[in-house]
């Protein structure tokens, strides 16, 4: 009896906590303006919180994005926002999504939907007025929880209970859900490592493996974006203790050759992994001194800027590198020609990959965080006027040699060194 009362009390207390924190979101963010705009639009119009923000409140996580669902059609949502002079843009209007912007806060507002046709990548949808119909098309019970602005939950698939019980459960038939959108395989892994407190259901793993080839139908952008969400989630490191989940990631992303190195990160890497950006984290997974980095670029579309960043790290580690090479003098050339980020990335890579924490590398990173890229004091005009070197190829070559000497000497060069180069 005591255990039963304890459970009832916990449920009640937790529900009060959830309701209060959802009210806080309403009152402490501009979300209340969205509720006012849509709820006042017509006699039957309604908007509710949905999905991730409720999930995070239930699990006492930081709410960093707010998604809303409404029974208004997209054009009506636009009309309702216009009437209240709320800025918005049509992010995915064909699928019913409008993004409202208030005081730098973004709110994704999606019309209730039902799937008409699915092909594993995209769904053709029809807009709906039925909240249960919208809930039924969602992937997992923990994502099908809705709430009004007062924190009153609408939870047709018992997602709150599943969250509290640590149960990641597909809505309806798991195989059908996966075949509707193969990205749900990756989403299952992300939600499992973050919210499950039980072993994988062997039947779910069998179904996923049976259908994992469907992932090849997905765009590289969707795959990489979902993987990014996994890496930035609190449960990311739990993946490396999850044999089944890790095996699935290895099948989906064979380019991530260094996955197993995350099983034995040093204490510094453990403490700071959540602080690094996604591109650096990718370097830890793909850079191995081979052509694997270029293969990753072939498979996944990332910006030229990010490609360059990863290539610099990979190029450095194509040679055997000793900890003794990590000195300020040795890094000045990279610092000057490739910039601060390149140096910090290269040192950080070594720091994260070392079996022990190299304090020398931590100090070196701090040096380059505060170091200013110097300007070479010798220019073409000086060589032309002081040393009578005419404009042309010879001038350019001399200037390049002087610059290399200046960098090599810690951004210092003597007149006699310049004269020697001029005469040489």
Of 172, 205, 222, which residue is a domain's last? 172
CA-CA distance, 165 to 247, in Å (whole number)? Answer: 25
For residues 144 and 6, state if they share a domain: yes
- Number of neighbours of residue 86 by Cβ within 10 angstroms: 18
The per-residue pLDDT for 250 is 97
Cα–Cα dist 34/96, whole Å: 16
**Phi and psi at residue 171, to the nearest 5°:** -85, 125
pLDDT of residue 179: 94
- What is the model's pLDDT at position 123? 63
User: How crowded is the C-beta side of 119, counted as CA atoms within 13 Å?
Assistant: 6
Say if residue 132 is in the same domain as residue 23.
yes
Are 117 and 132 in contact, with CB atoms under 8 Å apart?
A: no
If one counts the domains in the chain, the total is 4
Residues 46 and 90 in one domain: yes
Query: How far is the C-alpha of 201 from the C-alpha of 206, rounded, in Å?
Result: 9
- Inter-axis angle of helices 220-231 and 278-286, nearest 10: 100
Residue 125: phi, psi to the nearest 5? -120, 155
Q: Which pLDDT does position 74 carry in this prediction?
A: 94
Residues of the chain with pLDDT under 70: 1-14, 116-123
Tokens of 341: 């980020």
- Cβ neighbour number for residue 7 with a 10 Å cutoff: 11
C-alpha span between 116 and 16 (Å, rounded)? 38
d(CA 185, CA 178): 7
Whether residues 301 and 367 share a domain: the answer is yes
CA distance 216 to 196: 27
C-alpha 414: how far from chain center: 48
* Most distant pair of Cα atoms in the chain: their distance: 99
Q: Scan for tokens 């009640």, then name that residue.
A: 12
Q: What share of the chain is helix, strand, coil (3-state, %, to 5)?
A: 60, 10, 30
Q: Do both 303 and 201 map to the same domain? A: no
Residue among 241, 227, 157 nearest 197 (CA): 241
φ/ψ of 14, rounded to 5, equals -65, -35
CA 368 to CA 354: how far, in whole Å? Answer: 20
Pair (115, 147) in one structural domain: yes
On whether both 183 and 311 belong to a single domain, the answer is no
Residue 30 belongs to what domain range?
1-172
The residue out of 172, 199, 233 marking a domain boundary is 172
Decide: 211 and 178 in contact? Cβ < 8 Å: yes
228: CATH:
1.10.110.30
DSSP state of 323: G
Judgement on whether residues 71 and 165 belong to the same structural domain of the protein: yes
Same structural domain, 261 and 358: yes
Whole-angstrom Cα distance, residue 181 to residue 205? 16
Q: Which of 172, 189, 208 lies at the terminal end of a domain, its last residue? A: 172
Query: What is the chain's alpha carbon radius of gyration, rounded to the nearest angstrom?
Result: 28
12 and 151 assigned to the same domain: yes
57 and 13 in a single domain? The answer is: yes
pLDDT at 1: 43
The residues with which 127 forms a beta bridge, in sequence order, are 113
Look at residues 102, 209, 186, 92 and name the one whose alpha carbon lies nearest to residue 139: 186
Q: How many residues does the chain have?
A: 424
Q: Which helix (H) or strand (E) holds 116?
A: strand 113-118
For residue 68, the Cα-to-chain-centroid distance in whole angstroms is 21
Q: CATH number of the domain that 42 lies in?
A: 3.30.460.10
Place of tokens 């992300």: 190
Residues 238 and 302 in one domain: no
The set of long-range contacts for 219-228, using a CB threshold of 8 Å and a minimum separation of 24, is: 219/121, 220/299, 220/300, 220/301, 221/301, 222/183, 223/183, 223/186, 223/252, 223/253, 223/300, 224/300, 224/302, 226/183, 226/186, 226/187, 226/190, 227/186, 227/253, 228/278
């Amino acid at each position: 009896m005591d255990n039963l009362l304890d459970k009832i009390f916990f449920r009640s207390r937790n529900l009060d906590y959830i309701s209060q924190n959802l009210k806080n979101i309403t009152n402490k963010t501009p979300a209340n303006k969205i509720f006012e705009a849509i709820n006042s639009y017509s006699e039957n119009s309604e908007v509710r919180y949905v999905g991730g923000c409720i999930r995070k409140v239930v699990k006492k996580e930081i709410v960093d994005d707010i998604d809303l669902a409404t029974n208004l059609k997209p054009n009506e949502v636009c009309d309702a926002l216009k009437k209240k002079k709320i800025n918005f843009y049509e992010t995915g209007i064909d699928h019913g999504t409008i993004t409202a912007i208030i005081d730098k806060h973004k709110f994704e507002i999606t019309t209730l939907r039902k799937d008409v046709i699915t092909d594993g990548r995209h769904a053709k949808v029809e807009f709906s007025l039925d909240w249960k119909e919208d809930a039924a098309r969602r992937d997992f019970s923990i994502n099908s929880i809705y709430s009004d602005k007062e924190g009153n939950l609408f939870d047709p698939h018992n997602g709150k209970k599943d969250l509290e019980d640590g149960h990641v459960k597909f809505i309806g038939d798991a195989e059908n859900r996966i075949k509707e959108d193969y990205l749900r395989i990756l989403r299952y892994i992300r939600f499992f490592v973050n919210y499950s407190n039980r072993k994988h259901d062997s039947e779910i793993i069998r179904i996923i493996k049976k259908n994992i080839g469907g992932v090849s139908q997905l765009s590289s952008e969707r795959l990489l974006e979902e993987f990014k969400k996994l890496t930035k989630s609190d449960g990311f490191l739990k993946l490396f203790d999850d044999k089944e989940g890790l095996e699935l990631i290895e099948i989906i992303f064979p380019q991530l050759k260094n996955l197993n190195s995350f099983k034995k990160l040093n204490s510094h890497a453990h403490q700071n992994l959540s602080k690094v950006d996604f591109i650096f984290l990718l370097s830890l997974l793909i850079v191995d001194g081979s052509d694997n980095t270029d293969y990753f670029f072939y498979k996944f579309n990332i910006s030229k800027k990010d490609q360059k960043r990863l290539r610099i790290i990979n190029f450095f580690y194509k040679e055997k590198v000793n900890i003794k090479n990590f000195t300020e003098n040795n890094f000045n050339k990279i610092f000057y020609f490739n910039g601060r980020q390149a140096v910090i990335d290269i040192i950080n890579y070594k720091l994260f990959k070392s079996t022990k924490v190299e304090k020398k590398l931590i100090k070196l990173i701090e040096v380059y965080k505060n170091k200013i890229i110097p300007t070479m004091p010798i220019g073409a005009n000086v060589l032309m006027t002081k040393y009578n070197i005419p404009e042309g190829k010879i001038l350019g070559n001399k200037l390049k040699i002087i610059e290399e000497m200046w960098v090599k000497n810690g951004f210092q060069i003597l007149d006699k060194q310049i004269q020697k180069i001029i005469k040489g």
